[in-house]
Chain A
Amino acid sequence: MLKVDTINTYYGSSHILQDVSLTVNQGEVVALLGRNGVGKTTTMRSIMGLTPPRSGEVYYCGHKINTLPPYRINRLGIGYVPEDRQVFPDLTVEENLLVAQRSRNSKKGEEWTREKVYELFPELAKMPNRLAGRMSGGEQQMLTIARTLVGNPDLLLLDEPSEGLAPKVVLNLLDVLKVIKKSISILLAEQNAVFALSLADRCYIMEKGKTVYEAAAEEIRENKDIQKKYLIF
């Protein structure tokens, strides 16, 4: 479904991603693990077209997308949930959803409407007219996910959704993502490996702009050496 092929991405003149390759198959949850600053967010931004790679290719469902603008990439079916939430603070919950709402033909019958999203996030249903800027971090995290869902993506890029959330909220988030993953493939960037591994089918570990290890989630859950080596727990 998604194939990232030896991409190199720069911020100005600093070379961040070095020959990163990865794939996400239909129906899969793939975790991108690694410590602070290894390039997880940059990988997401490269796929989304926000920081296009300078070399290498990205393919999505047969389309070459690494030269497309972000809005075209989104319309092909990739939804992006940024790491720092980036809700629209001056807009209400409902308005945040309206801005992102987009129906796609491939999804007829099983679309994420605002009603369905409110069912999944009952906290949001209680405050449709609250300004997003006035919500708690956990509520904002739910809203960014909800906002991306109503765009009806087939693949979700989720960047550190558990970051800065209280343990109880993280558990709640886990439940939500378990529902979402039934119908949407997910590429999940996380520092919190325990969280990521409880969702993922497959993992990549990144170090200094490179993917250095790839394995089934199960394997990493059981292999203490790998856990120690990459210090991801």
Chain B
Amino acid sequence: MEDQFLILLNGLSFAMLLFLVSVGFTLQFSVLGVLNLAHGSFYMLGVFLAITVAMFMGNYAGNFWIGLLLAPLLVAAFGAFLEWSLLRRIYIRDVLFQYLFTYTWILIIDDLVLMIWGARYSIISLPPIFSAPVNFLGVTFSSYRLFIILLGLLVAGLLWFFLQKTKAGMIVRAASVNREMVGALGVNTPLLFTAVFALGAWLAGVGGVLVAPLQTAYAGMGLDIIVDCFIVVVIGGMGSIKGAFWAALTLGMLRAFGIAYVPQVEMALSYLLMAVILIIRPRGFFGREEA
């Protein structure tokens, strides 16, 4: 029983990381209509920027927190610049151009990372306050992973509040069904698109920083996470925030319990789930029905 609970907590922490990254991906898609294949590369930038901040600060205990504050902001600024300077020029183009364009940025960012950070594999140490595990509801669990779960839930809550209760959030929801009409009603859509793209990039950056102490960083890790994002978005429903949350949870659990019970086929499980969903409910948990 305790074991299962521990697996559940591990699954939750993985799910929250996945949610943070894929919700940005799905948000960008729902408002801009562009599948940003380079979204995973923004996540990777978050990881490497966190490493750089940690190196700058040396052994200063607060380096992780400064990284968590700074790195996602830098990633968001980079995203905003990319949208403003280049991406907005291809909204009217065929989606193939859009895929080609965002795919190109996977390659560019991978090379940038190799140039700046090199091919070394690096990892940062856990912030000191998370060095000891905690006793949580009767099990001994990594305090850092517990922090990830809580932060993920907090971000999910804030996003929900923003989208449901603020005027800007309503505009985002309106734009996700009808961009043209939102513009005709006086909303500065170019600015909205830049802001949403930056928010998506920021979320990827947060996910990246959180992963930095858990996983060694390598150029190319963006491609790995984008595959997971795709699975989340397909299962949850294209462009659905709620869908991203529940799909990330499902996938996180599947992976955690898969590793525990059927490690040989764990890798295949998420693809299998996606295939099943595609067959029985092609629009995913919360996807919009095709008009």
Contact = CB atoms under 8 A, between A and B. Distances in A.
From B181, B182, B190, residue with most partner A Cβ within 10 Å: B181
B174 A99 contact: yes
Interface in A38-53: 48, 50
B277 interface: no
Interface in A142-200: 147-148, 151
From A75, A86, A102, residue with most partner B Cβ within 10 Å: A86
Contacts of A125: none
A147 B182 CA distance: 11
Interface of B: 167, 170-171, 173-174, 177-178, 180-190
B171 A74 contact: no
Interface string A59-70: 000000000011
Contacts of A75: 186
Given A70-B184, A71-B188, A74-B186, A99 B177 contact: no
A88 B30 CA distance: 14
B186 A151 contact: yes
Across the A-B interface, the 5 shortest Cβ-Cβ residue pairs? A74-B186, A70-B183, A100-B185, A88-B174, A80-B184
A63 to B, nearest CB: 15
Contact of B183 (A71, A90, A96, A147): A71
B29 to A, nearest CB: 16
30 contacts: A50-B184, A69-B183, A69-B189, A69-B190, A70-B180, A70-B189, A71-B183, A71-B184, A71-B187, A71-B189, A74-B183, A75-B186, A86-B181, A88-B173, A88-B177, A88-B178, A91-B170, A91-B173, A91-B174, A95-B170, A95-B173, A96-B174, A99-B167, A99-B171, A99-B182, A99-B185, A99-B187, A100-B186, A102-B185, A147-B185
A89 interface: yes
A128 to B, nearest CB: 14
B88 to A, nearest CB: 12
Interface in A60-118: 69-71, 74-75, 80, 82, 86, 88-91, 95-96, 98-100, 102
Contact of A99 (B170, B188, B189, B190): B170
From B173, B181, B183, B185, residue with most partner A Cβ within 10 Å: B185
A90 B188 CA distance: 21
Chain B contact surface mostly = helix
Contacts of B188: 71
Contacts of B178: 86, 88
Contacts of A96: 174
A89 B178 CA distance: 10
Nearest to B166: A98
Interface residues of A, number: 23
A90 B187 contact: no
A50 B180 contact: yes
From A48, A50, A71, A151, residue with most partner B Cβ within 10 Å: A71
B284 to A, nearest CB: 16
Contact of B184 (A48, A89, A95, A98): A48
Contact of B185 (A74, A89, A90, A91): A74
A78 to B, nearest CB: 9
B186 A98 contact: no
A69 B187 CA distance: 10
Contacts of B184: 48, 50, 70-71, 74, 80, 82
Given A98-B167, A99-B167, A89 B177 contact: yes
A149 to B, nearest CB: 11
From A69, A70, A80, residue with most partner B Cβ within 10 Å: A70
A148 B185 contact: yes
Contacts of B187: 71, 99
Given A50-B180, A82-B181, A90 B186 contact: no
A97 to B, nearest CB: 10
Nearest to B189: A71
Nearest to A101: B167
Contacts of B180: 50, 70
